[in-house]
């Protein structure tokens, strides 16, 4: 059945996406089909060679509606506007280096099929990046991108309210896991906040203020300790940048009601937040420490190629010795499988070695640096809110990734790729945007 569904989707989505892309008027609707399906990602995805019980970052060769629409749009834009470089910016070239440095890890992989799952995911993510890059390159339509994220936040919040009514303590909304939803909201909430904080007229200010509130509420309702701690930090960074580069007394006046709304909202959730921190099992902290130590053991044992891309779930368990000091050579139970290290950076280093980790950090760092540069370059433009918000959002999720590995989940990876592409276009044409030479739909 899944192959039949895939063939129908492939036969229908690709031509439709291609036709919509050729019609410039409807191109934005096609791009919304890249943004919005993350709300039901599992329902619109098919895993080929699926291994759903495997505890790894990829469990199959996943084909999603997001990828199909992105591919269709990319093909349409190539035909419509003529061929463009496949590596359009320095960040994409760093990503290629990271991808290539992951491949040698297959030498040490016990299951190369699992490694291929992760490589396939990285290829799909790059298709999303290219689609977003060229969509923004030709349309300058940043408004659709940010509004699409807002729709996701609003619909997710409605789902969280419904789950609250049903008595679900840690809500995950429409996401695979509450940590995934927390990281998604952590990245976009500061952007919504930056729009409201830096615009002084127009009804969209209040729309983005509503997006900010629902995204923040959804994030807090996950009761994910990492997400709850990092969200205020990311928003504070955005507020400080906004005051530093676009200071106005009106902003000081705005901060007070925002603070009061957030304060009273936090008070409503305070009992559960306190309970989440106080009642967190000690075993949870111990497990994190043991898994982090195991990751270091893997990196020291295989420093150049790691233990195998997406092979953590195999190598962390007996008969491999990396976690042996915890259990001897025994499992807690016969069918027990140890989890994934709760740090994205240690996971990359353990699976692919120090060189791949360095490339991964360089890739993340590149876009963070250009976001910081854009804050200054676009400080006198209407686009200032995008880099100001993204700097806060990236700060939040980079910190959160020291506590959780969900950055490598498909939904969060897609979101990050879209915003990296937006940063790249902004950086490429910063001077034109600043001087008003480039038309922008923002």
Q: Give residue 256's pLDDT band: very low, low, confident or very high (50, 70, 90).
A: confident
Where along the chain do its domains lie?
A: 89-280+346-435
pLDDT given for residue 191 in this prediction: 97
Alpha helices in 166-307 (DSSP H): 178-198, 204-221, 225-245, 249-278, 282-301
| % residues pLDDT > 90 (the chain) | 50
Give the pLDDT confidence of 221-240 residue by residue, as tens digits.
Answer: 888 888 888 998 999 999 99
Contact in structure between 95 and 378 (CB atoms under 8 Å): no
- Using CA atoms, how far residue 233 sits from 228, 322, 354, 369, 420, in Å, is 9, 35, 29, 18, 21
Tell me the DSSP string of 266-328: HHHHHHHHHHHHHSS-HHHHHHHHHHHHHHHHHHHHSTTT-S-TT-HHHHTSTTSSTTHHHHT
Q: Say whether 376 sits in a helix, a strand or coil.
A: helix
- Using CA atoms, how far residue 188 sits from 213, 339, 367, in Å, is 11, 28, 16
Give the pLDDT confidence of 303-328 residue by residue, as tens digits.
Answer: 999 999 999 989 988 888 887 655 44
Q: With 50 as the cut, is the pLDDT of residue 333 above it?
A: no
Higher pLDDT, 277 or 222: 222
pLDDT given for residue 423 in this prediction: 97
Q: How far apart are CA 353 and CA 344, in angstroms?
A: 13
pLDDT given for residue 269 in this prediction: 60
Higher pLDDT, 43 or 112: 112
The lowest-confidence range among 145-149, 287-291, 321-325 is 321-325
Q: Give residue 171's pLDDT band: very low, low, confident or very high (50, 70, 90).
A: confident
Question: For residue 22, what are its two tokens?
Answer: 């050729």
**Residues sharing a CB contact under 8 Å with residue 325, sequence separation 6 or more, in sequence order:** 293
For helices 90-102 and 344-352, angle between their N-to-C axes, nearest 10 degrees: 50
Q: What mean pLDDT value characterizes the chain?
A: 86
Higher pLDDT, 265 or 331: 265
Q: With 50 as the cut, is the pLDDT of residue 329 above it?
A: no
Most confident of 45-49, 314-318, 388-392: 388-392
Q: With 70 as the cut, is the pLDDT of residue 59 above it?
A: yes
Q: With 60 as the cut, is the pLDDT of residue 99 above it?
A: yes
Q: Give residue 346's pLDDT band: very low, low, confident or very high (50, 70, 90).
A: very high
What's the pTM? Answer: 0.91
Q: With 90 as the cut, is the pLDDT of residue 147 above it?
A: yes
Q: With 70 as the cut, is the pLDDT of residue 332 above it?
A: no
């Amino acid at each position: 059945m899944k192959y039949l569904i895939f063939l129908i989707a492939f036969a229908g989505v690709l031509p439709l996406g291609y036709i919509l892309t050729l019609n410039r008027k409807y191109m934005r609707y096609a791009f919304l089909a890249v943004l919005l399906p993350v709300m039901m990602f599992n329902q619109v995805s098919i895993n080929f060679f699926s291994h759903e019980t495997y505890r790894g970052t990829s469990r199959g060769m996943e084909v999603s509606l997001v990828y199909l629409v992105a591919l269709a749009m990319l093909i349409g834009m190539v035909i419509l506007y003529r061929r463009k470089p496949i590596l359009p910016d320095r960040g994409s070239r760093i990503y290629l280096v990271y991808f290539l440095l992951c491949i040698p890890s297959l030498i040490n992989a016990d299951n190369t099929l699992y490694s291929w799952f992760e490589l396939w995911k990285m290829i799909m993510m790059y298709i999303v990046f290219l689609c977003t890059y060229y969509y923004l390159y030709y349309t300058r339509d940043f408004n659709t991108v940010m509004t699409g994220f807002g729709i996701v936040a609003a619909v997710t919040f409605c789902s969280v309210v419904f789950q609250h009514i049903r008595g679900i303590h840690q809500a995950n909304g429409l996401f695979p896991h509450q940590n995934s939803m927390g990281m998604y909201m952590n990245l976009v909430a500061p952007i919504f906040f930056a729009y409201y904080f830096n615009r002084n007229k127009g009804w969209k200010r209040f729309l983005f203020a509503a997006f900010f509130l629902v995204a923040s509420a959804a994030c807090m309702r996950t009761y994910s300790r990492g997400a709850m701690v990092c969200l205020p930090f990311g928003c504070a960074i955005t507020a400080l940048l906004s005051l530093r580069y676009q200071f106005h007394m009106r902003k000081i006046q705005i901060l007070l009601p925002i603070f009061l709304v957030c304060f009273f909202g936090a008070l409503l959730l305070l009992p559960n937040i306190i309970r989440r921190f106080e009642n967190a099992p000690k075993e949870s902290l111990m497990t994190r420490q043991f898994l982090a130590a195991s990751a270091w053991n893997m990196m020291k044992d295989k420093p150049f190629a790691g233990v195998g891309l997406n092979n953590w779930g195999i190598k962390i368990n007996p008969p491999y010795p990396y976690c042996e000091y915890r259990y001897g050579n025994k499992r807690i139970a016969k069918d027990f499988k140890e989890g994934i290290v709760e740090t994205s950076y240690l996971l990359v280093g353990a699976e692919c070695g120090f060189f791949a980790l360095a490339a991964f950090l360089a890739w993340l760092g590149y876009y963070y640096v250009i976001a910081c540069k854009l804050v200054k370059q676009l400080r006198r433009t209407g686009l200032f809110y995008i880099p100001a918000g993204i700097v806060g959002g990236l700060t939040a999720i980079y910190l959160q990734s020291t506590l959780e590995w969900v950055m490598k989940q498909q939904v969060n990876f897609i979101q990050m790729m879209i915003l990296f592409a937006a940063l790249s276009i902004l950086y490429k044409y910063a001077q034109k945007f600043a001087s008003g030479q480039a038309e922008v739909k923002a």
